[in-house]
Amino acid sequence: MELRELKSLLALDQCGSIREAAKSCNISPAAVHKHLKTLESEFGLRLYAKHDGRLQLTEGGRVALPFARDILLHYDAAFTAIEEWKGGGRGSVRVGAGPTFSSYMLPALIKRFRRRFPLVDVYVETGDSAHLISRLRAGALDLIFDLAAADPDDLNLEQVAQWEAQTGFISARSDVPTHCRLGPLEKVPFILFAKGTAMESAVRHYFQSLNFHPSVVMRSDSAEAIKAMIRAGLGVSVLFLWNIDAEMRGSAFKVIRTNAPPLSLRMALVRLRSGYTPKAVQEFIGLTARMNWKNLHLLQPSRLPAVNEKSQ
């Protein structure tokens, strides 16, 4: 059993085809096929089979998968530790976040981090919650920003910090007052997040708790698209307040105050539990917890790595 064979197994699980797994590993499909057959020969069982047009791991493959992932993660951790020891302040941090968070919150954090640690490379990847968690589990990302409610029972994931994020009813319509009761808003067109997204689920449960039934005329998986529709006066939505800070200063949007309690959600900085956290990642976690973000308030400062003040 070799590392390259385990990498092919993980790639197949993520990609669902030998061709795509080969692209992911930057090797030929024949090489991936050979790696998988070698593993099957060593384990003495089938590791994958075709189902609904995709290759999926068998039950035996699923049993082997977490051990393969752990072996590769420990190898990467050992390699990173040696590189840090040789590099003298060099390193890398790979961060994942949703498109909106990446646009509004990450730039100031990364600018501040690079100013303090100019030799550390920072890589940012955007995507939805499921994609980011998958990339984190695979060891392709060191940290992700996600809603804290996402997969809280997964023992392989650790939330190293949490923030409370306020949302609000957002509008640009002149016929909607800034203060009103919740009931009349049922007659106003609403533009909400697409079904299946984490934000849609949170807003839906919020509305259910209020017995509120809005007239939904549009849905989108993009906060920017929703904001454009609101800006055009086409409806009302529920958005994070930090998502509209700039527009609020320019009076493009208004927050509608109702008799209902506001929806508060929790954002979390999440990492994979492992035996070693690179120093660059520790520094990034510590600095993140000390960011003074508007409308994003730190709730869980415990167990955070201390920032090395001498390196600042």
Q: Domains in the chain and their CATH numbers?
A: 3-65 (1.10.10.10), 73-162+266-311 (3.40.190.10), 165-264 (3.40.190.290)
Nearest of 145, 159, 162 to residue 95 by alpha carbon: 145
Tell me: pLDDT of 39 over 70. Answer: yes
User: Is the CB of residue 270 less than 8 Å from the CB of residue 98?
Assistant: no
Task: Identify the pLDDT of residue 91.
Answer: 79
Please enumerate in sequence order all residues whose Cβ is within 8 A of that of 84, keeping only pairs 6 or more positions apart, or say none: 90, 91, 278, 279, 280
β-pair partners for 272: 157
- Most distant CA atoms of the chain, gap in Å: 70
- Give pTM, 2 decimals: 0.70
User: Is the CB of residue 231 less than 8 Å from the CB of residue 172?
Assistant: yes
Could you report the per-residue pLDDT of 248-305, keeping only the tens digit for each? 666 778 999 999 999 999 999 999 887 678 888 989 999 999 998 888 899 855 444 4
- The two three-digit tokens of residue 309, written as one number: 């003040």
Nearest of 164, 179, 170, 166 to residue 248 by alpha carbon: 170
Could you report the per-residue pLDDT of 225-243, keeping only the tens digit for each? 999 999 999 999 999 998 8
Q: Checking phi first, is residue 190 left (phi over 0); if not, alpha (psi -120 to 50) or beta?
A: beta
Task: Identify the pLDDT of residue 305.
Answer: 45
Range in 32-36, 153-157, 211-215, 307-311 the model is least confident about: 307-311
